[in-house]
A and B are shown apart, each in its own frame.
Chain A
Amino acid sequence: SQKIEQNSEALNIQEGKTATLTCNYTNYSPAYLQWYRQDPGRGPVFLLLIRENEKEKRKERLKVTFDTTLKQSLFHITASQPADSATYLCALDMSSGGGADGLTFGKGTHLIIQP
């Protein structure tokens, strides 16, 4: 099965700086990778998807990179704001590894943007 590691359980960033979150996986190469945001007491909300043949994807202040050689994805939030404080989840498809047609998730990184 796939093992996913997300950098440090908590990450403190000063407002206005760029936050960089890391997602590393260990086994099979997924067909795609997704990033979700989760606020306390709520379900995850989809942010971005990047496919195995894509190097980079952007959406407003968000940027995701995908390096299949390093087995790593980086998630960047530029010009960070206190409202960006949340837990960010990395998710990979299971089916590429012969598993179920669903997602396998990392434990998440709790991002705190300090004013």
Chain B
Amino acid sequence: NAGVTQTPKFRVLKTGQSMTLLCAQDMNHEYMYWYRQDPGMGLRLIHYSVGEGTTAKGEVPDGYNVSRLKKQNFLLGLESAAPSQTSVYFCASRENRDSYNEQFFGPGTRLTVL
């Protein structure tokens, strides 16, 4: 039982390049999230999904797109990377719609945009 995994662990991009971050969970969770964490700031929600085939915007969605084609996977895309998107990205999952469920986080992806 691997929990929540993220690939890649590290990535360096040039401004304008695109990339996709992959999140996978093996706990059969309904809800999945993408957060970013920047120095001096709390984790901020980018996008989330309440089930396969659904996505919704969080606090800071601009510049990102997401897809949830399979229940176990949640993809975060950057179409044209900008230096402001340099951050550590965390994926998380939650069991179901019960609001009191804890979130399980992945190990993070450290992205640098030059």
With contact pairs A42-B108, A44-B90 given, residues A49 and B45 touching in the complex (Cβ less than 8 Å): no
Question: Residues 89-115 of chain A: 1 if any B CB is under 8 Å from the residue's CB, otherwise 0?
Answer: 101011100011111111110000000
Say yes or no: is B62 at the interface (Cβ < 8 Å to chain A): no
CB neighbors of B among A1-32 (8 A): 1, 4, 31-32
Interface size on B, residues (CB 8 A): 27
- B57, B103, B108: the one contacting A103 at CB < 8 Å is B103
Interface size on A, residues (CB 8 A): 29
Alpha-carbon gap, A95 to B103, bound state (A)? 15
Most buried by A among B44, B57, B105, B107: B105
Q: Which residues of A contact B (CB under 8 A)?
A: 1, 4, 31-32, 34, 36, 41-46, 49, 51, 89, 91, 93-95, 99-108
